[in-house]
Amino acid sequence: MTRLFRGACLTILLFLSQFAWFEVTPKAENQVAPPDRPVEKSAELFRQSAAAYGGESKILSLQDGCYDYQIEALGASGEKPINLKACFKTDALFRSEARGDGLEAVTIINGNNGWVKVGNSVLSLPRKEIDPVRIGMVVQMRPDLLLVSFPKHRYTGQAHDDGKTLDLVEVSGFLAGEYVRGRLSFDSATHLISRYEYEIEKESPKGKGIVKGEEHYLRYEEKDGLKIPTEILSTQGHKTSRLTLNSVQYDSGLDPGLFQDPSSSPNASQPGKN
């Protein structure tokens, strides 16, 4: 594999990570602490929000499925829309397919192994280099999972934005090995997450750096008893994109071949189909 191809694959991963299932953090047991009103308030908001999405049992039961959506860069970038299909089967199996504007790439995670396929060329990468793509897509398509993922949360007050009253909660913790600090803004009328702002510490050849971003969930619809965002504004750095969900299929009987090394299974069936 040439250095040029490896560089191209890493560039694609960086692009996808902007739009980019992470492990649920177990709840601590048998811990006793003095009352902390901001923490108690945030816990109450989390319970209300989980109920609004469909209930915690529903949130945790619907983690396998495929999402088909379009990504459109806003502003004067001149970029054409990207069509993206992402499939998840437990937290160990992941596949995304991106097509459009000259891009055609397949990204796969299977356990600790990962691959990126561009055209007919395949690059093998460790999971940790691909996981940011998977995590980012979960944050966008399933913000409800944030409610069961952050071990630390604290209510900080209210704000008003675009005619809405928002309850603000600061959150922090590790998602798939990366330390995240952020803020969840809950719509006080619906109890759904309206915004998720975050900072992630990332390693690079130059050392540690901070990546900042924001997901603004503009519209929700109900699918199989769960509220999911169907229109999102995603911002990272100075770039903002609009994500529009076309379809979602849960528990879709995904072919295990979809998550194998693409160089050895070029004829795997399409995601979401048996």
pLDDT at 31 over 70: no
The mean pLDDT value of the chain amounts to 84
Q: What is the pLDDT of residue 6?
A: 53
Task: Report residue 223's pLDDT band, with 50, 70 and 90 as the boundaries.
Answer: very high
pLDDT at 12 over 50: no
Q: Are 166 and 150 in contact (CB under 8 A)?
A: no
Q: What is the pLDDT of residue 119?
A: 82
Average pLDDT over residues 46-72: 94
pLDDT at 182 over 70: yes
Task: Report residue 162's pLDDT band, with 50, 70 and 90 as the boundaries.
Answer: confident
In angstroms, how far is CA 231 from the centroid of its own chain?
Answer: 14
Task: Report residue 209's pLDDT band, with 50, 70 and 90 as the boundaries.
Answer: confident
Average pLDDT over residues 191-199: 97
- Taking the C-alpha atoms of residue 32 and residue 24, their distance in angstroms, rounded to an integer, is 22
Task: Report residue 91's pLDDT band, with 50, 70 and 90 as the boundaries.
Answer: confident
pTM of structure: 0.82
- Taking the C-alpha atoms of residue 234 and residue 231, their distance in angstroms, rounded to an integer, is 10
Domains of the chain as residue ranges with CATH? 3-22+36-248 (2.50.20.10)
Of 30-34, 71-75, 101-105, give the range with the top mean pLDDT: 71-75
